[in-house]
Amino acid sequence: MAIIEVEELGKRYGGQAVLDRVSFSVEEGEVFGILGPNGAGKTTAVECVEGLRRADSGAVRVLGFDPFRQGSELREHIGVQLQHTQLPDNIKVWEALDLYASFYAKPRDWRELLERWGLADKRNARFAKLSGGQKQRLFIALALVGDPTVAFLDELTTGLDPQARRATWELVKRVRAEGVTVVLVSHFMDEVEELCDRVAVLDEGSVVALDSPAGLIDGVDTEYRMSLRLMEGDTADPGHLLENLDGVASVSRSGDLVVVTGRGDFATAVSARLAREGVLVRDLRVDKRTLDDAFIALTGRSLQV
Ligand SMILES: Nc1ncnc2c1ncn2[C@@H]1O[C@H](COP(=O)(O)OP(=O)(O)OP(=O)(O)O)[C@@H](O)[C@H]1O
Q: What is the pLDDT of residues 78-99, one digit of tens each?
A: 999 877 667 899 999 999 999 9
Q: Are both 246 and 213 inside the same structural domain?
A: no
The response to whether residue 40 sits with its C-beta less than 6 Å from ligand 1 reads yes
Query: Are 134 and 91 contained in the same domain?
Result: yes
Q: Is residue 15 part of a domain?
A: yes
- Which residue lies with its CA nearest to atom 13 of ligand 1? 39
pTM: 0.84
What gap in Å lies between CA 122 and CA 118, rounded to an integer?
8
Residue pLDDT tens, the chain, 305 long: 899 999 999 999 988 999 999 999 999 999 999 999 888 999 999 999 999 999 999 999 999 999 989 999 999 999 998 776 678 999 999 999 999 999 999 999 999 999 888 899 999 999 999 988 899 889 989 999 999 999 999 888 887 888 888 888 998 999 999 999 999 999 888 899 999 999 999 999 999 999 999 899 888 777 889 999 988 777 778 888 898 899 999 999 998 899 999 988 899 999 999 999 888 889 999 987 788 888 888 888 777 65
Question: How many structural domains comprise the chain?
Answer: 2
CB–CB of 51/74 below 8 Å?
Answer: yes
CA of 22 to the centre of ligand 1 (A): 15
Residue of the CA atom closest to atom 17 of ligand 1 = 43
| Alpha helices, H only, 55-121 | 71-75, 93-101, 110-116
Q: Which domain holds residue 62?
A: 2-217
Query: What backbone torsions phi and psi does residue 302 show, to the nearest 5 degrees?
Result: -90, 150
Q: What is the pLDDT of residues 292-302, one digit of tens each?
A: 888 888 888 77
CATH number (domain holding residue 23): 3.40.50.300
Q: Is the CB of 186 under 6 A from ligand 1?
A: no
Q: Is residue 51 part of a domain?
A: yes
Q: Do residues 129 and 20 share a domain? A: yes
Q: Based on the fold, state whether residues 229 and 181 are members of the same structural domain.
A: no
Q: Looking at the structure, tell me whether residues 115 and 39 fall in a common domain.
A: yes
Residue 185 CA to ligand 1 center (angstroms) comes to 13
Assigned domain for 295 exists? no
CB 291 within 8 A of CB 217: yes
Q: Are residues 87 and 213 in the same domain?
A: yes
Evaluate: CB of 9 within 6 angstroms of ligand 1.
Answer: no
58 and 154 belong to one structural domain? yes
Mutational pocket test of ligand 1: of 22, 44, 189, the residue with most ligand atoms within 8 Å of the beta carbon: 44
Same domain, yes or no: 179 and 132: yes
Query: Is residue 41 within 6 Å of ligand 1 at its C-beta?
Result: yes
Q: Is 254 within the bounds of a domain?
A: yes
Last residue of one domain, picked from the residues 174, 200, 217: 217
Q: Are residues 85 and 151 in the same domain?
A: yes
How confident is the model over 254-291, as pLDDT tens digits?
A: 988 999 999 888 999 999 999 998 888 899 999 877 88
E-strand spans in 16-170? Answer: 16-27, 31-35, 57-62, 78-80, 150-154
- Tell whether 246 is covered by a domain: yes
CA angle 45, 47, 52 (to 5 degrees): 145
